[in-house]
Amino acid sequence: MAEQQVSFRIEDLFSVKGKVVVITGGGSGLGKAIAEGFALNGAKVYIVGRRFDTLETAAKQIGGDIHVIQGDVQSKKSCQDIVAAVQAKESHIDTLINCAGVNSPWRVGAKDHNDPDQVENMLINGLEEEDFDRSNQINVNGVYFLTVNFVPLLRKSKDPNVCVIASLAGLANIRSMGSLTYGVSKAAVIHLAKLLAGRLHPMKIRVNTICPGIFPSEMTGSTAGKHSYNINHQAEKAAMRCTAGRPGRPEEMVAPVLLLSSAGGGYMNHALLTVDGGRLMGASINDGIRMPEDTYTDEIRG
């Protein structure tokens, strides 16, 4: 019998009070905003990142029950070290947010992405093997090794769940943002999350994925405050292509993450949420490519 377990009050439906949460990339950008969302609502939060000073600054700005773990998800051993650091303090964790990610930009660019010679040069000389290796090690391997090594702690939770912060670049063929290595790695981690959901099914560990569009972060700009960023020209122009006509706001990412980690999202597993202001829709209508004028029509048929 499906019986109501919590009231329909907002504070009960979406409560994360008392949950133990681990967030990679929690010192800046979306990870930092997500960390504050949990801490402000009564969760115990561990933020993980490579730069200790950045983590310490974030923890002071956020406040609440927040703890810092310096760590790098780039290798299996370092992921195990992160888990061991949490395990030394906690008997279980409720939520793991895989938010750490990197982008390897083109080493050689193209000013005109419709110029065959420039594009040829960019594709041949713009990337090295190490660019693929770094993107995959952090964006894909890191998610796998951290998640599976946290399984013993997740299994001790009443509602264990994992959230993978991927990217719209893993779903759409967007030429204007990022490099090829970034899109490939994000497409891989989207599928990885689906496979993990299947493999973790016997443990009742839910795994869901969020694909953000353009949001304020170190990848799209430079910091201008706790959750404020000066968006760079490229990201600003790309954001104008979505229905909303602007970059996403921090609260618009925090909210769906809290949903997935709360009673209100308890029936969500293997889900893929696009939080992009409508940009995936826009990308499907020739994003970044100006078609010949005679291919456009305002007439709607059928």
Residue 226 to residue 254: CA distance in whole angstroms: 14
> How would you classify the pairing of strands 229-231 and 221-223?
antiparallel
Residue 198 has pLDDT above 70, yes or no: yes
Note the Cα 190 to chain centre separation in Å. Answer: 10
Which fold is adopted by the domain 10-285?
Answer: Rossmann fold (3.40.50)
Q: What pLDDT is stored for residue 302 in this prediction?
A: 43
Residue 193 has pLDDT above 90, yes or no: yes
- For the whole model, what pTM was predicted? 0.92
Q: What is the mean pLDDT of residues 195-216?
A: 96
CB of 68 within 8 A of CB of 101? no
CB of 84 within 8 A of CB of 69? no
HSE-up (13 A, CA, CB side) for residue 183: 12
- Tokens at residue 172, please? 């759409």
Instruction: Calculate what percentage of the chain has a pLDDT beyond 90.
Output: 75
Reported as a single tens digit per residue, the pLDDT across 215-233 is 976 666 556 566 665 767 7
